[in-house]
Amino acid sequence: MAVKDIPDNVFMTTLDAAANWSRANSLWPMPFATACCGIELMATASSRFDLSRFGAEVMRFSPRQCDLMIVAGRVVMKMLPVLQRIWLQMPEPKWCISMGACACTGGVFDTYAVVQGVDRFIPVDMYVPGCPPRPEQLIAGIIALQDKVIKTGTFNGREFAKRTVAMGPPPFDADELIRIREGNEQLPVLN
């Protein structure tokens, strides 16, 4: 049955496009702010830069209310299980921005305690480089993520089910493995 006489204020679209449009423009960030980048995240949300212009200002500190995790700052050994648990607590659909050099790669902290990039252990959708990134750069990252959601998102999150492999680099450095083998060192097991 063909639809006749549609009024001017009714739009026809696909369900995917409608869902993506509304999701992209009302991202609720979960600020996983551990270090310096957290202060820039605060600067992004407050007076001069005003993140609410881009529809992503509703910071909620409970992971169950959010759909965008912003990992701002370095994540260390003791904190990584917390990060993974918070990521698992967030409802689908969800995205993750890795903000700053430390969250992306470990940055200047190539030490025993710092995880060398959170993308080794949780999925990351957008990387914002900088130490720390300027607020403009974070806003650009959020706009790029909105673009990605609109272009690739689906109503029921089918695109996530396909990604069964970890997207980041492997959790072991090649040279580190070689060193461990040569030195006959055993990897300690942490629970």
Partner 1 sequence: MSHQELLQTRFPAAGLVFSDFRDNHRVQVPKERLVEVLTCLKTEGGFDMLVDITAVDYLEYEDADDRFGVVYVLLNTSTGERTIVKTFVNDPDPTLPSMYPLWKSADWTEREVYDMFGIKFEGHPDLRRILMPDEFTTFPLRKDYPLKGRGERHNFPVITRSES
Partner 2 sequence: MPFQVSDLAELDAPEKEYLWTLNFGPQHPATHTTLRLVLTLDGERVVKAVPYIGYLHSGFEKLGEDLDFNQYVTIVDRMNYISPLANEIAWHHAVEKLLDIELTPRCKYIRTILAEIMRIQDHLLNVGTCALDLGGFTAFLYFFTLREQIYDIVESASGQRFHTSYTRVGGVMFDVDNAWVDKIRAFCKGFRPVHEEVHKLLTRNRIFIERVQGVGFLSKEDAINKGVTGPLARASGVLRDIRKDEPYLAYPDFDFKVVAAKSGDCYGRYLVRMAEMMESLKIIEQAMENIPAGPINVDPETKAVIPAKPAVYRSIEGLIQHFEVIMPNRQAGSPREEIYAATESPNGELGFYIAGDGSWKAYRARCRPPSYIHFATFPDMIKDHQLSDVVAVLGSINIIAAELDR
82 phi, psi to nearest 5 deg: -65, -45
Based on CB atoms, which residue is closest to partner 1, 54 or 109? Answer: 109
What interhelical angle do 135-152 and 36-45 show, nearest 10? 80
Return the range that interacts with partner 2 (CB under 8 A); candidates 109-117, 145-153, 156-164, 167-175. Answer: 109-117
**Closest Cα to residue 44, out of 99, 102, 104?**
99
Decide: 105 and 75 in contact? Cβ < 8 Å. no
Return the range that interacts with partner 2 (CB under 8 A); candidates 7-15, 128-136, 138-146, 175-183. Answer: 128-136
Contact pick of 111, 156, 157, 169 for partner 2 (by CB under 8 A): 111
Taking the complex as a whole, the smallest distance from the CB of residue 48 to partner 2 amounts, in Å, to: 5
Bridging pattern class, strands 126-128 and 68-72? unpaired
Note the Cα 71 to chain centre separation in Å. 6
Find where tokens 């917390």 sit. Answer: 82
Which residues make up the interface to partner 1 (CB under 8 A)? 77-78, 80-81, 84, 87-88, 94, 110-116, 120-123, 160-167, 171-173, 176, 180, 185, 187-191
Note the Cα 1 to chain centre separation in Å. 44
Taking the complex as a whole, the smallest distance from the CB of residue 4 to partner 1 amounts, in Å, to: 44
Is 17 a residue that touches partner 2 (CB under 8 A)? no
Taking the complex as a whole, the smallest distance from the CB of residue 157 to partner 1 amounts, in Å, to: 10
**Could you tell me how many residues make up the chain?**
191
Binding site for partner 2 (CB under 8 A): 32-36, 38-40, 42-43, 46-48, 61, 73-74, 76, 78-79, 82, 86, 108-109, 111-114, 131-132, 134
